[in-house]
Amino acid sequence: MDISLTPDTYTPIVDQAGNYIDSIPVIRHGLYCLCGSRKDKAYENTSKFATHIKTKTHQKWLEQLNQNRANYYVECIKHKDLVKQQQKLIAQLENRVSAQQLTIDCLTKQLVRPSPTMDESVDLLDMSAL
């Protein structure tokens, strides 16, 4: 089994005014940019990535991030709420599964344990006994 390292995903930094700006990080195992100019392209070094961030597509993407930053904040809050709701739902379902598993275990024990009222065994396959 080979271990492969996956490239990191690029995220621009936020300046003091709250705007997204480009900053070239240290690239160790490659870097993906989500701007959409070249899908599934990993940049191996800083010079190739520096050239990439000067492209029109990347600059347009960065501009759109800055124009929609308030929407991204609202979206982030909605996603946090959704995650909390899903965590509660998962916990409820896990509790329900645990309760049902206990019921199954209890019924299985009752099925396997012979009943004290049955003194004789009955062959259920023998239809002539009825």
Among 118, 9, 13, 117, CA closest to 65: 13
- Which residues have a Cβ under 8 Å from the Cβ of 92 and sit 6 or more positions away? none
Task: With beta carbons less than 8 A apart as the criterion, state whether 65 and 20 touch.
Answer: yes
Residue 84 in 3-state DSSP? helix
CA atoms within 13 A on the CB side of 65: 18
Tell me the pLDDT tens digit for each residue of 57-104.
999 999 999 999 888 889 999 999 999 999 999 999 999 999 999 999
Percent pLDDT > 90 in the chain is 65
DSSP string, 80-104: HHHHHHHHHHHHHHHHHHHHHHHHH
Q: What is the pTM of this model?
A: 0.59
Task: With beta carbons less than 8 A apart as the criterion, state whether 45 and 27 touch.
Answer: yes
